[in-house]
Amino acid sequence: MSRVYNFSAGPSMLPEEVLKKAAAEMLDYEGSGQSVMEMSHRSKVYDSIIKGAESLLRELMNIPDNYKVLFLQGGASTQFAAIPLNFMNGSGKADFIITGQWAKKAFSEAKKYGDVKAVASSEDEVYTYIPKTSKEDFRSDADYVYICMNNTIYGTVYKNLPDTGDIPLIADISSCFLSEPLDVTKFGMVYGGAQKNVAPAGLTIAIIREDLLGKARDITPTMLNYQIHADNDSLYNTPPCYTIYICKLVLEWIKNLGGLEKMKELNEAKAKMLYDFLDNSKLFKGTVKKEDRSLMNVPFVTGNEELDAKFVKESTAAGFVNLKGHRTVGGMRASIYNAMPIEGVKALVDFMEKFEKENG
């Protein structure tokens, strides 16, 4: 069996140890005589899986007791509507910072439900930087301020959070979930689709400060009402059972590695290797303002579209897959999430060096 190095932005690599453990437990989970895929979500054995996943997540992310952890479905994109329905219900205003397509989509969706304002945007330079804001930029009566923390398509990340004063900050952390420690207390809510860094597709995790719950609009569909899911410990209806189980295995893997401080150290070492190469290369260059570079998604170009296409083709043949940039930006993008081993990044850099020699 030979496995490729998968640089996909999502769904993306999972740790090999996790896949092996899931394979070993496929037919008989811990003596239950069933696969986790076959279990009732109301069974005792499944209860230990979902509760175990929540308590591991709380432990690793240091989530305070006044925050609810919800296991949801519908992807990050469903929350673009759920967030205004649940929280845009005081003044009916929400302020957004537009740092890419995902923030823009969240903004457009929220527009259907109230008075939204794009306070800042980096669209003028193809989202290659994080715009600076100050507290005065936000409307003091806004129900929340919304950001996308790590911009998967463009490769930027917030290194310093915007100062929103007392206004709750809500962040989409889909592509930086569990990549490094995060101070949850700085947010009213963080959430993300699991398929980038946490589990296979099908699971969305939301972490919400309790005092923000219970204010959903009457028209909010039951399945989009966070209070309903909180009151039912994420078991109002059938949750994505198997994905939550894999999530638990991934959390165990992170814990065994040494937790999120260690994860950050590993991710920084991987990203540094690739960025250092890009900064010294005469052929390849990174596309993002240095101070805003993501640890997770690294876009780069040669400056020549034909050469970009040649690189994508040859790298794929050599076992480095999904390096093609997002269809809206072109070029290349290496997504180097938690599960990408440092050997994978080293091998990619070696391959890029060789390509540069042959084509430079």
**Active-site residue identified among 93, 102, 270, 292:** 102
Q: Is 175 in the site for ligand PLP (CB under 6 A)?
A: yes
Q: Among 12, 174, 220, 335, indicate the residue that binds ligand PLP (CB under 6 A).
A: 174
Give the shortest CB-66-to-ligand PLP separation in angstroms: 25
| The one segment of 23-31, 171-179, 243-251, 318-326 that binds ligand PLP by CB under 6 A | 171-179
Give the shortest CB-152-to-ligand PLP separation in angstroms: 3
Phi/psi of residue 269, each to 5°? -65, -40
Question: Alpha-carbon Rg of the chain, whole angstroms?
Answer: 21
Q: Is 197 in the site for ligand PLP (CB under 6 A)?
A: no
Give the shortest CB-239-to-ligand PLP separation in angstroms: 15
Other Cβ atoms less than 10 A from the Cβ of 254: the count is 21
Q: Is residue 172 among the annotated active site residues?
A: yes
Q: Is residue 117 among the annotated active site residues?
A: no
**Active-site residue identified among 95, 172, 292, 308:** 172
Which two three-digit tokens encode residue 261? 């401080």
| Cα separations in angstroms, 336 against 22, 212, 219, 290, 295 | 22, 34, 40, 17, 8
Distance CA 152, CA 272 (A): 18
| The one segment of 28-36, 111-119, 170-178, 303-311 that binds ligand PLP by CB under 6 A | 170-178
Q: Among 35, 55, 73, 77, indicate the residue that binds ligand PLP (CB under 6 A).
A: 77
Answer yes or no: are the C-beta atoms of 234 and 206 closer than 8 Å.
Answer: no
Give the 3-state secondary structure percentages of the chain, helix then strand then coil, rounded to 5.
40, 15, 40
Task: Report the chain's terminal Cα–Cα distance, integer Å.
Answer: 34
Q: Is 76 in the site for ligand PLP (CB under 6 A)?
A: yes
Q: Facing residues of 96 across strands?
A: 118, 146
Give the shortest CB-280-to-ligand PLP separation in angstroms: 29
- For ligand PLP, the binding residues in 107-126 under the rule CB under 6 A are none
Query: Which SS3 state, helix, strand or coil, does residue 157 take?
Result: strand
Query: Which secondary-structure segment (H or E) carries 150?
Result: strand 150-151
Q: Is residue 137 among the annotated active site residues?
A: no
- Residues with catalytic roles: 102, 172, 196
- Binding-site ranges for ligand PLP (CB under 6 A): 10, 75-77, 102, 148, 152, 172, 174-175, 193, 196
